[in-house]
Amino acid sequence: MMRFTLGLCVAGLIGVLAQPAQAQWSPQRQITIVVPIGAGGGVDATGRLLAEKLTERLKQPVVVENRTGAGGLTGTDTVAKAAPDGHTILLMETSSVLHKWLHKDVPFDVVSDFTPIARVAVSPLVLFAQPSFGPSNVRELIALAKSEPGKLSTGTPGVGTPHHLALMMLNAMAKIDILNVPYRAAAASLNDLLAGQIPMIWAAPTAAMPHVAAGKLKALGVASGQREASLPDIPTVAENGVPGFDLTIWFGVAVPSKTPPDVVARLSKEIAEIAAQPDVKERIQKFGLTPSYADSDAFRAQVRDDHLRFGKIIREAGIKPN
């Protein structure tokens, strides 16, 4: 009996020692928010705002790391493979649900490999052009593209981004052929548009709208299903010859799927309270985004549903992963 009891004690001790060290959330360790796209623009600004606020509330260093590549796939995969201890956080955005449908080799499952914490903001996508570009709206662009198939091009922040999806959706739904010019970051495509190196780009309005106001760019259309309250003068793609066109970018926070429940609960509480702060909402709006908080369950459902919805759109459009 004593031998059996001793065996149980040893087994129990081994079990305790075998518990992963990542279950302990250390206040001394640095937390890293991985932003899977380049610095500059609303996504990066949102990540830095959350890092600032979490640093204040948690009393431990929180930094942003931009891990770019493959339209956001590289940074997202970094977090999927990170220790699930709450010290590596993903600034998750819409491209995360597109990778499976646009790339042949995706090393993670966006639904099962992450625990969504909260959505914090949404943003429209806008098709911008040089002022000298002939078309003034998407209807006119479609007519030009049909008369010159394969001759027009649009810049995006890379293959697999929502911007790339917007281009592919427009091509498929309008039956045109506008070429994709991928960049490593949205800022680079905007710089080339301003320099006259490319006629159009898909972009969030954050950095581009001031140039529209200055007469250096023009907006052809917004990808949202309805006109944006913040951009009332920009017509939707849907109302200019492509009914049913509807694409909005969202931004949120996620962690690796096996992160301990107590850490998830703490992060969820902190992000909820941060998102409710008036100065945070104001700053998010200044980034050109719309504050839009959704809790863990609602954000998880959006990730799952958008993954399926966009997959269906991509397959029906005949778009093959590369």
Query: CATH number, domain at 138?
Result: 3.40.190.10
Q: What is the pLDDT of residue 321?
A: 87
How sure is the predictor about 274, in pLDDT bands with cuts at 50, 70 and 90?
very high
Look at residue 23 and tell me whether its pLDDT is greater than 60: no
Q: Are residues 75 and 32 in the same domain?
A: yes
In a domain, 17, yes or no: no
In a domain, 14, yes or no: no
Q: What is the pLDDT of residue 5?
A: 40
**What average pLDDT does this structure show over 268-273?**
98
Domain count, the chain: 2
Look at residue 37 and tell me whether its pLDDT is greater than 90: no
How sure is the predictor about 20, in pLDDT bands with cuts at 50, 70 and 90?
very low
Look at residue 182 and tell me whether its pLDDT is greater than 60: yes
Q: What is the pLDDT of residue 17?
A: 36
The rounded mean pLDDT for the chain is 90
In a domain, 225, yes or no: yes
How many C-alpha atoms does 47 have within 13 Å on its Cβ side? Answer: 25
In a domain, 69, yes or no: yes
Q: Are residues 203 and 219 in the same domain?
A: yes
In a domain, 19, yes or no: no
How sure is the predictor about 206, in pLDDT bands with cuts at 50, 70 and 90?
confident
Q: Are residues 231 and 257 in the same domain?
A: no
Q: Are residues 198 and 264 in the same domain?
A: no
Q: Are residues 233 and 142 in the same domain?
A: yes
Strands, sheet with 126-129, edge to edge from the N-terminal-most edge strand: 179-182, 153-156, 200-203, 126-129, 218-222
Which of 223, 240, 257 is the last residue before a domain boundary? 240
**What average pLDDT does this structure show over 76-88?**
97
How sure is the predictor about 24, in pLDDT bands with cuts at 50, 70 and 90?
low
Look at residue 127 and tell me whether its pLDDT is greater than 90: yes
Q: What is the pLDDT of residue 27?
A: 62
Look at residue 15 and tell me whether its pLDDT is greater than 60: no
Which of the pair, 49 or 23, is modelled with greater confidence? 49
The CATH number covering residue 101 comes to 3.40.190.150
In a domain, 16, yes or no: no
Distance separating alpha carbons of residues 260 and 144, to the nearest angstrom:
54
Q: What is the pLDDT of residue 22?
A: 42
Q: Are residues 130 and 216 in the same domain?
A: yes
| H or E stretch at 141 | helix 138-147
Q: Are residues 295 and 196 in the same domain?
A: no
Q: Are residues 203 and 230 in the same domain?
A: yes
In a domain, 116, yes or no: yes
**What average pLDDT does this structure show over 149-165?**
91
Cα–Cα nearest to 180, from 167, 196, 169, 161: 167
In a domain, 321, yes or no: no
Q: Would you say 9 and 90 are in contact if contact means Cβ atoms under 8 Å apart?
A: no
Cα–Cα nearest to 54, from 249, 250, 260, 253: 253
Residue 177 domain boundaries: 126-240
